[in-house]
Amino acid sequence: MRAAAKKGRNEMSEKINVSEIFGENVFNDKVMAERLPKKVYKELRKTIDEGKGLDPMIAEVVANAMKDWAIEKGATHYTHWFQPLTGTTAEKHDSFIQAPNPDGTTIMEFSGKELIKGEPDASSFPSGGLRATFEARGYTAWDCTSPAFVREDAAGATLCIPTAFCSYTGEALDKKTPLLRSMEAINKQSLRLLRLFGNTTSKKVTPSVGPEQEYFLVDREKYLKRKDLIFTGRTLFGAMPPKGQEMEDHYFGSIRERIAAYMKDVNKELWKLGVTAKTQHNEVAPAQHELAPIYAEANIAVDHNQIVMEVLKKVAGRHGLTCLLHEKPFAGVNGSGKHNNWSLTTDDGINLLDPGKKPHENIRFLLVLTAILKAVDVHADLLRESAADAGNDHRLGANEAPPAIISVFLGEQLQDVLNQLIETGEATRSKKGGRLETGVSTLPSLSKDATDRNRTSPFAFTGNKFEFRMVGSSDSVAGSNIILNTIVAEAFCDICDELEAAGEENFETAVHDLIKRNATEHQRIVFNGNGYSDEWVAEAERRGLPHLRTMVDTIPCITEEKAVKVFEKFGVYTRAELESRAEILYEAYSKALNIEARTMMDMAGKQIIPAIIKYTTVLADSINSVKSAVSDADTSVQEELLAEVSDYLADTKTALSKLTDQVAEAVKKQEGKERAVYFKEVIKASMDELRAPVDKLEMIVDKEMWPMPSYGDLIFEV
């Protein structure tokens, strides 16, 4: 492990020419233009840009060119790279070789049929009852809007083809298919809106996404000594070290050489794959870091974020490190999230969320803004659900991430405009940003925004985009963008229906009325204050905003009639697909907590309790030895310590027995909601009970006898 770290440091001097390597392993537009016949290239671009159906003959030519390009890159295999409902990516590798010729030789081939369609076994992926176990057939379909790429690793080079994944009967079994459906929905409704405002040139509106990625790095040797990290991705036991993050010295601090070498390697890998890794820095918690890309179309951004997570984990091993993507790997310090920056842009460069210099005069922007307020207010529960998982339950509302209550931060400038609209029906002014004077003559005065930021807000307007800050670090950002695209498409559709009915002669009045009505009726969702305060929780309840504290609490909302109606209206999900996802989510929660509980039982029974018994035995022998040597020796401290440790040991054994019995009882609960609720309400509380005495014991027992690395070892010695 140390040799790997040393190798990483030695490679720091390697020079990287980003412009030369960027996208070199991507079958991107430049490569297609160079390798495809002009007619084929134009037809493929129409499919990508306009959604035109793909001609099989075009696919045949593309497949051959893609194969030749990949083989030149050293690829021997190809895979349909897809995103099933496991939360990770999946792939099955096939080589390019065909059946041997009569003379014993072979040739490398890749057909249009192989490019367009794959057939992985669907029976072992989560389907939530959409498919019976014995019904195995599923299909992967080429997503030509996301470019293929060649991945290099220990297996060699593999051509990865982004694909959608659906069942034999057509239901979506993945995250990409509904994402693409939602992108079509928001595109259609956005174009309707633009046409009403006289725009006849824009041909496509695309949600743009920039997902920031937080992660922890720990030494791999120490990681391998922690069963909880290995099996669950988070520490189930662990006392806080003398220092945590309270000094705030890690945030944006100087990056250690070992970590810098790792980041350099990560960037190189990502740039070659066309991922625009832009920003990197230390995050708030010790051993925590962040990587942020430049914006991309939602579909590509989702694929790129999956690549980012894979590369972060893969490269860590080369440097003797392990990358932790769990939302809360360490109690007592900040967890990791994934800020989803979302906006709407046209193919000719118009950002629908750009307020301009005078937002109060930008009528189209105000209409779009108030429509989004309506969408978030009406479907706050769905947006909350899109960021729900068992890991994120430990993070949301913990004074380090947004609360579990959805609200929108607009800032002073837009809040003032909104207030004017509500109070008088029109806005006549916008607050200006002004200049920031530093008070130092040698420093320049800086222009400042008209609005500050609010890190406690789950859904914050930040200049020309909304930042959805609730998503967990291990999650795919597909879910949140599916929801955002769909609910905003619905709000746009309602607007367009009303404006079209009003006609051209009443257009301005109808727009004015819509802006005021949406601003007035949905102002309850706007909150610019401290989302961490108890007062906000009470105020949100008074406003009638949903407060869904855990993943299990959020799941029912996706099968309510309101949700089914909006998803089916825009063809994003069917009722059956939503019901299946609810079952998958309940099952995922139960499985996650079951693994955690069993890991705790294993660690407590096989490692922690034996270590404590050993310590108490040594302590008792020491007391007897001292008394034998000096009959009147004062051993009160040792005896007090022995009594204290013995009491905590008894508490640990009692809590372990209780948890063991409850886990055995869990399997008797009906699968689905009943079992998930049992894990949430019963098992989770008992896990906390088991952890409490163990963490106290860690602060007492001889470190040499403690059976695993401590928090201090893990987060400060990287």
Whether the per-residue pLDDT at 123 is higher than 80: the answer is: no
Whether the per-residue pLDDT at 519 is higher than 90: the answer is: yes
Specify the pairing of strand 213-219 against strand 321-324: antiparallel
> How many other CB atoms are there within 10 angstroms of residue 399's CB atom?
10
CB 148 within 8 A of CB 160: yes
Helices (H), 634-710: 636-666, 673-678, 684-698
Q: How large is the average pLDDT for residues 451-469?
A: 87
Whether the per-residue pLDDT at 9 is higher than 60: the answer is: no
Specify the pairing of strand 446-447 against strand 459-461: unpaired
CA-wise closest residue to 410 among 427, 386, 390, 393: 427
Whether the per-residue pLDDT at 5 is higher than 80: the answer is: no
| pLDDT for position 136 | 66
Q: How large is the average pLDDT for residues 153-174?
A: 91
| pLDDT for position 247 | 75
Q: What is the pLDDT of residues 285-329, one digit of tens each?
A: 999 999 999 999 999 999 999 999 999 999 999 999 999 999 999
Q: How large is the average pLDDT for residues 471-491?
A: 97
CA-wise closest residue to 69 among 28, 98, 38: 28
| pLDDT for position 545 | 97
Q: What is the pLDDT of residues 337-379, one digit of tens each?
A: 999 999 999 999 999 999 888 887 789 999 999 999 999 999 9
* Torsion on CA atoms 260, 261, 267, 272, rounded to nearest 10: 170
CA distance 289 to 282: 4
Whether the per-residue pLDDT at 7 is higher than 60: the answer is: no
Give percent of the chain with pLDDT exceeding 90: 77
CA distance 128 to 178: 16
Ranking 397-406, 463-472, 508-517, 682-691 by mean pLDDT, the lowest is: 397-406
Whether the per-residue pLDDT at 419 is higher than 80: the answer is: yes
| pLDDT for position 438 | 56
Instruction: Taking the CA atoms of 374, 377, 379 and 380 in sequence, report the sign of the dihedral they define.
Output: positive
Of all helices (H) and strands (E), which one includes residue 586?
A: helix 575-603
* Residue 10 burial by Cβ neighbours in a 10 Å radius (0-12, 13-18, 19+): exposed
Q: DSSP string of 253-290?
A: PPPPHHHHHHHHHHHHHHHHTT--EEEEEE-SSTTEEE
Whether the per-residue pLDDT at 27 is higher than 70: the answer is: yes
Q: What is the pLDDT of residues 32-51, one digit of tens each?
A: 999 999 999 999 999 999 88
* Residue 165 burial by Cβ neighbours in a 10 Å radius (0-12, 13-18, 19+): buried
| pLDDT for position 244 | 82
Mean pLDDT of all residues in the chain? 91
512 to 338, 474, 503, 507: CA distances (angstroms): 36, 42, 14, 9
Give percent of the chain with pLDDT exceeding 70: 95
Q: What is the pLDDT of residues 271-284, one digit of tens each?
A: 999 999 999 999 99
528 to 228, 451, 560, 579: CA distances (angstroms): 39, 11, 30, 35
**Residues forming beta bridges with residue 467, ordered by sequence position:** 341, 460
| pLDDT for position 632 | 85
Q: How confident is the model at residue 547 (pLDDT cuts 50, 70, 90)?
A: very high
What tokens were used for 339? 């800020």
Whether the per-residue pLDDT at 440 is higher than 70: the answer is: no
| pLDDT for position 501 | 95
Of all helices (H) and strands (E), which one includes residue 185?
A: helix 176-196
SS3 call for 209 = strand
Q: How confident is the model at residue 98 (pLDDT cuts 50, 70, 90)?
A: confident
| pLDDT for position 101 | 78
Who has greater pLDDT, 646 or 104? 646
pTM summary value: 0.93
Which three-class secondary structure string do you get for 435-472?
EECCCCCCCCCEECCCCCCCCCCCEEECCCCEEECCCE
| pLDDT for position 622 | 92
Q: How confident is the model at residue 650 (pLDDT cuts 50, 70, 90)?
A: very high
Who has greater pLDDT, 402 or 706? 706
| pLDDT for position 427 | 77
* Residue 150 Ramachandran class (φ > 0 left, ψ -120 to 50 alpha, else beta): beta
Whether the per-residue pLDDT at 590 is higher than 80: the answer is: yes
- At 343, give phi and psi (nearest 5°): -150, 175
CA distance 137 to 433: 58
